[in-house]
């Protein structure tokens, strides 16, 4: 009974290993294709950067190319890190399976040895001699059946041991393949991290060179004005997407005779004047509305507020919400738009890192990324929208809630 159970378990293990191996190969191929696509995009920006560097040494367009390339490098490193974590889990699982199979194989061998030893404990007996020594026809029949069953059981035991050994060999081969893949993955990740560090150093030097050129600031004003318009168009598109989604939900509600989605005032609206700040500390350097540029003395409209913080400062969600868009715009760099329902959205721009994905549900105070650096310095740009209408963030954030650095 025990051996039959082990045979079943071994067959299941072998089938699982084969199916898992096939599924794993497909998954590895898919991941490799995704990584290759990122590498191709990175190489494309590398060519663009080299072409621009031949023509002009320091331009905002060149800075944009560096930003886009470093974003792709971070994404590639993040995927390599996730792949490394998943592979480590697979390695641990494979090692666990190997330990289990080894223990089962040891048990089977001992069980078989004890089984045979019990039968021949008083010396080996010839099968024919055992039958001829029977004292009656009934005893002969019983011994014949016993010998038949014993022979079948020995065959089952040996088959089970062979199956278990085969499963163990497959798992050992899988483990060696996984360990080799892990070594290559770690080496690949270290290479990309080194490349990112070099690119960030070049970007910093480029930014310093651009800042010395007054023309760049004038160009940046025009770019920022256009970026603000692009952001408003992006918000408008998100509003339209929400409208269509709401119509679909209402239609489904009518078809299934259920209550439509609630339109009652949300938690965000109730927190007017009490919202937490998107960073724990910093210095407010540009307020909402018309602002005079400190160098050029030109007046431009700021659609949000700018907070001076060291690059790499954790950026936090000001309220519960959902990541509706992760985007990149010239002059704003990496940005995240959170949807807080009932038409309220918050925008976090000039991010050096992003730690969330579109569709993620976000709780108040959760870190969504890290601050970065713009032409004007190290900062975070923050905006609040009610539908298409820009809001003054200071009227929503808790007064004096920003600890000065």
Q: How far apart are CA 186 and CA 119, in angstroms?
A: 55
pLDDT digits (tens, 9 = 90+) for 287-334: 998 877 666 667 788 899 999 999 999 999 999 999 999 999 998 999
Q: How far apart are CA 69 and CA 89, in angstroms?
A: 30
Q: How far apart are CA 390 and CA 158, in angstroms?
A: 77
Q: What is the pLDDT of residue 157?
A: 66
Angle at 75 between CA 24 and CA 312, to 5 degrees: 140
Q: Which fold has domain 214-260+267-395?
A: Glucose Permease (Domain IIA) (2.70.70)
Q: What is the pLDDT of residue 182?
A: 82
Q: What is the pLDDT of residue 126?
A: 52
Q: What is the pLDDT of residue 294?
A: 66
Q: What is the pLDDT of residue 259?
A: 61
Q: Give the per-residue SS3 of the chain.
A: CHHHHHHHHHHHHHHHHHHHHHHHHHHHHHHHHHHHHHHHHHHHHHHHHHHHHHHCCCCHHHHHHHHHHHHHHHHHHHHHHHHHHHHHHHHHHHHHHHHHHHHHHHHHHHHHHHHHHHHCCCCCCCHHHHHHCCCCHHHHHHHHHHHHHHHHHHHHHHHHHHHHHHHHHHHHHHHHHHHHHHHHHHHHHHHHHHHHHHHHHHHHHHHHHHHCCHHHHHHHHHHHHHHHHHHHHHHHHHHHHHHHHHHHHHHHHHHCCCCCCCCCCCHHHHCCCCECCCCCECEEEECCEEEECCCCCCEEEECCEEEECCCCCEEECCCCEEEEEEEEECCCEEEEEEECCCCEEEEEEEEEEECCCCCCEECCCCEEEEEEEECCEEEEEEEEEECCEEECHHHCECCCCCECC
pTM (2 decimals)?
0.70
Q: Which residues of the chain have pLDDT under 50?
A: 1-3, 6, 20, 122-125, 128, 130-131, 143
Outline which parts of the chain fall under CATH 2.70.70.10: 214-260+267-395
The pair of three-digit structure tokens given for residue 53, joined into one six-digit string: 């560097």
pLDDT digits (tens, 9 = 90+) for 74-127: 888 888 888 888 888 888 888 888 787 777 777 766 766 666 666 555 444 455
């Amino acid at each position: 009974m025990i051996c039959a159970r082990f045979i079943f378990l071994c067959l299941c293990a072998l089938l699982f290993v084969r199916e898992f191996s096939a599924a794993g190969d497909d998954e590895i191929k898919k991941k490799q294709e995704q990584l290759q696509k990122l590498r191709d995009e990175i190489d494309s920006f590398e060519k663009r950067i080299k072409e621009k560097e031949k023509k002009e040494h320091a331009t905002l367009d060149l800075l944009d190319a560096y930003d886009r390339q470093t974003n792709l490098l971070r994404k590639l490193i993040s995927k390599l890190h996730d792949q490394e974590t998943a592979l480590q889990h697979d390695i641990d699982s494979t090692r666990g399976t190997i330990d289990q199979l080894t223990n089962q194989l040891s048990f089977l061998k001992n069980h078989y040895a004890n089984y045979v030893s019990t039968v021949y404990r008083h010396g080996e007996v010839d099968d024919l001699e055992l039958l001829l020594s029977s004292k009656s026809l009934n005893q002969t029949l019983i011994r014949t059946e016993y010998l038949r069953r014993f022979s079948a059981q020995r065959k089952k035991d040996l088959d089970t041991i062979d199956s278990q050994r085969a499963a163990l060999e497959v798992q050992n081969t899988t483990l060696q393949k996984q360990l080799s893949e892990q070594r290559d993955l770690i080496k690949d990740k270290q290479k990309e991290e080194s490349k990112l560090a070099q690119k960030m150093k070049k970007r910093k030097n480029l930014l310093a060179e651009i800042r010395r050129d007054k023309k760049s600031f004038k160009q940046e004003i025009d770019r920022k004005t256009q970026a603000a318009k692009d952001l408003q168009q992006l918000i408008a598109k998100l509003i339209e997407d929400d409208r269509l989604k709401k119509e679909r939900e209402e239609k489904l509600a009518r078809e299934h005779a259920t209550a439509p989605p609630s339109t009652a005032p949300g938690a965000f609206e109730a927190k007017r004047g009490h919202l937490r700040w998107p960073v724990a500390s910093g210095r407010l350097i540009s307020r909402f509305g018309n602002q005079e540029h400190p160098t050029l003395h030109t007046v431009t409209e700021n659609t949000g507020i700018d907070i001076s913080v060291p690059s790499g400062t954790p950026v936090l969600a000001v309220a519960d919400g959902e990541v509706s868009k992760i985007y990149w715009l010239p002059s704003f760099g990496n940005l995240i738009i959170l949807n807080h329902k009932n038409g309220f959205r918050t925008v976090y721009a000039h991010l050096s890192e992003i730690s969330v994905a579109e569709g993620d549900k976000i709780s108040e105070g959760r870190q969504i990324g890290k601050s970065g650096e713009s032409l004007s310095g190290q900062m975070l740009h923050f905006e609040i929208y009610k539908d298409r209408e820009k809001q003054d963030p200071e009227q929503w954030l808790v007064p004096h809630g920003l600890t000065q650095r």
